Amino acid sequence: MECYSEQKVSMFVDGELEVEESQHLRDHLAACSHCRRLLDALRAENRVLSESLQELPEHEFSLVGPFRSPWSIGWADVAVMALVLTIGSIVAPWIDHLSIPEALQWLNPMSLSGRTNLFFNLSYYFAHGGAAMLSDYAAFVGGLLLFLLLGGGVLLLGRRWRLQQPGLRMLTVLLVFSLPGFALERRHSEIVTVAARETIDDTLLATGNIVRVEGVVNGDLLAFGGTVEVRGTVKGDLVSFAKRTVVSGTVEGNIYDFSNSLDLDGQLGHSLYGLMQSLDVNDRGRVGEGVVVAAGDISLEGEVVRSATFYAGNTDVSGTVGRELTMAGDNLILTNTARVGGNLSARVRQLKNVHIADGATITGSRDIQLRVKENHFTRPKFYFYQAVWLAAAMLVGWLGLILFPGFFQASAHAVGSGWRSFGFGLGVLAGVPVAAFLIAITLVGFPVSLMLFAFYLTAIYLAKIWVGAFLGQKLLKPTEANKSDWLLGLLVGLLILTVIGFIPYLGGLVGFVVVCVGLGAFSWQLYRVSRRVITT
């Protein structure tokens, strides 16, 4: 007769075997001296355990760890959220004074000027969307909750599913972030037209082969299409993803353009930021503030009131730049009619590619430099930025450890699975943008898609932290699993990753693998947690 496993005998000692199995084991024990000895040893062990723990003073109950009952109200979460909001609103003006490059400003979640950020603009949307928006939102959330209650209630009765904290948190965050989406008016058809006499009060999200605005959009215009034309007026920003974008009317805010080509014939109130193949600012075109654009070809015939920064293969300027003109690229041509109100600085590969006509007016200095590959290791700034990055990553690691201790450590631990994490991470890395795009074009999911994408970028950032923590743990092998050791491990791991990142080619490859593995570990952990949430 085969002996029982140690785990089975251990469960027997704990009185956790089913009646039938217990009986079988008892029968076996009568005949097997080996199992009897095991049984005695395990009983003795249990006594030692109970004995040792018996004298555990009340305050040492922390040994049990931070497990909370699944349905406890997360007051701590509310407090943390409130704290983040408070700190955010205090720090926001200060951050605004930092000289973050303007092109990046709209990505800054705490920016007061950036109008596309979600978090701190809730108040803006509340103020402008008014009660109509709120009732829309309440109806949607109410419906969703009803659905969840009905569906969840049935399942809860069967005690088959349990929606626990992670799921609840995720849902809350998604709902909160989807809020601004309700200030959107959505239009989707082959040709989307805002007629000349029409006025749209909200932000307009338009997708279609041709998106044409002849009337007035009081909010922002978010346009995805083959051709996007603004002949009328957009009072907010224009965000355009299109093959061709033509602005012959007026955009009073900023333009963020990711098109194949952008023609600006009309008036732009603030600034233009973009990434495109070609940019034409025609002689009737006027940019009220600055321009920061990366493009293949740039032609400036009109006026830029403030400074212009171009990263371009070819830059032709025959119009006016009110202040500095900064350019990096291959060819720069300033014709006789060109006027630059400030300094001209250009970085090109060859000096003969710069043509400045004699008639061109440049008020400030001319600074033409050849672009040579500079070794960034010699610049002190470089080390400063690395240190800042490292400090920020440590801070994030520390916060994560405090807010979600189990999850953060488990994610770092899951990195150890190597290939599984890598494969999983690769899939997530490639799949999420596709999913975000698919969700976005269903229109209803636009805010969810934005949220998903933000989540994705955050996870990519965190990937390095988890891999770093894992690496540090492996190297230091701390005997005590406490927080300061974990953070020390994180520091060591991040330092190693940073140094490896400097190795040409290999560094990039390692970076890619790190992102994949970290992302995979995170997704795996998320999957495990969600499986725990949906226990059958």
Partner 1 sequence: MEAEEGIAVVETASPEPSPLGAILSTEERAQVRDAIARLPENYRVPLVLRYYGELSYDEIAQQMGLKKNYVAALIFRAKQDLRRKLSHRSQ
Which residues contact partner 1 (rule: CB under 8 A)? 6-7, 10-11, 14-16, 45-57, 60, 63-67, 69-70, 162, 164, 405-406, 409, 479-481, 532-533, 535
Minimum CB distance to partner 1, residue 492 (Å): 20
Of 421 and 473, the one with the shorter C-beta distance to partner 1 is 473
Instruction: Count CB neighbours of 311 within 10 A.
Output: 17
Of 126 and 161, the one with the shorter C-beta distance to partner 1 is 161
Do residues 17 and 25 touch, judged by C-beta distance below 8 A? Answer: yes
Minimum CB distance to partner 1, residue 422 (Å): 24
Minimum CB distance to partner 1, residue 411 (Å): 14
Of 59 and 352, the one with the shorter C-beta distance to partner 1 is 59
Residue type, 297: D
- What is the C-alpha to C-alpha distance for residues 315 and 292, in angstroms, rounded to an integer? 13
Minimum CB distance to partner 1, residue 395 (Å): 23
Minimum CB distance to partner 1, residue 405 (Å): 8
Using CB atoms within 10 Å of the CB of residue 295, give its burial: 0 to 12 exposed, 13 to 18 middle, 19+ buried: buried
Of 361 and 535, the one with the shorter C-beta distance to partner 1 is 535
Do residues 390 and 494 touch, judged by C-beta distance below 8 A? Answer: yes
Do residues 206 and 220 touch, judged by C-beta distance below 8 A? Answer: no
Minimum CB distance to partner 1, residue 425 (Å): 23
Complete DSSP assignment for 375-406: -GGG-HHHHHHHHHHHHHHHHHHHHHHHHSHH
Q: Of 496, 443, 536, which Cα lies nearest the Cα of 205?
A: 443
Of 66 and 380, the one with the shorter C-beta distance to partner 1 is 66
Geometric angle at alpha carbon 247, from 242 and 248, rounded to 5°: 150
Of 86 and 535, the one with the shorter C-beta distance to partner 1 is 535
Residue type, 8: K
Q: Among positive and negative, which fits the CA dihedral 341, 343, 345, 350?
A: positive
Of 70 and 130, the one with the shorter C-beta distance to partner 1 is 70
Complete DSSP assignment for 463-501: HHHHHHHHHHHHHH--SS--HHHHHHHHHHHHHHHHHHH
- What is the C-alpha to C-alpha distance for residues 109 and 453, in angstroms, rounded to an integer? 14
Helix (H, G, I), strand (E, B) or coil at 85: helix
Of 311 and 407, the one with the shorter C-beta distance to partner 1 is 407
Query: If you search the block for the tokens 């005997």, which residue do you land on?
Result: 479
Minimum CB distance to partner 1, residue 131 (Å): 40
Minimum CB distance to partner 1, residue 409 (Å): 8
Of 197 and 477, the one with the shorter C-beta distance to partner 1 is 477
Minimum CB distance to partner 1, residue 309 (Å): 51
Q: Of 59, 24, 9, 159, which Cα lies nearest the Cα of 535?
A: 159
Complete DSSP assignment for 230-257: E-SEESS-EEEEEEEEEE-SEESS-EEE
- What is the C-alpha to C-alpha distance for residues 275 and 103, in angstroms, rounded to an integer? 11
- With residue 102 as reference, give the H or E element that holds it: helix 102-105
Of 40 and 60, the one with the shorter C-beta distance to partner 1 is 60
Residue type, 11: M
Of 375 and 536, the one with the shorter C-beta distance to partner 1 is 536
Of 164 and 227, the one with the shorter C-beta distance to partner 1 is 164
Minimum CB distance to partner 1, residue 528 (Å): 11
Q: Of 278, 277, 337, which Cα lies nearest the Cα of 302?
A: 337
- What is the C-alpha to C-alpha distance for residues 114 and 98, in angstroms, rounded to an integer? 14
- What is the C-alpha to C-alpha distance for residues 475 and 496, in angstroms, rounded to an integer? 11
First-last CA distance in the chain: 35
Minimum CB distance to partner 1, residue 20 (Å): 16
Minimum CB distance to partner 1, residue 152 (Å): 16
Minimum CB distance to partner 1, residue 382 (Å): 39
Of 323 and 528, the one with the shorter C-beta distance to partner 1 is 528
Residue type, 124: Y
Do residues 210 and 192 touch, judged by C-beta distance below 8 A? Answer: yes
Of 182 and 486, the one with the shorter C-beta distance to partner 1 is 486
Q: Tokens at residue 4, please?
A: 């029982």
Minimum CB distance to partner 1, residue 26 (Å): 19
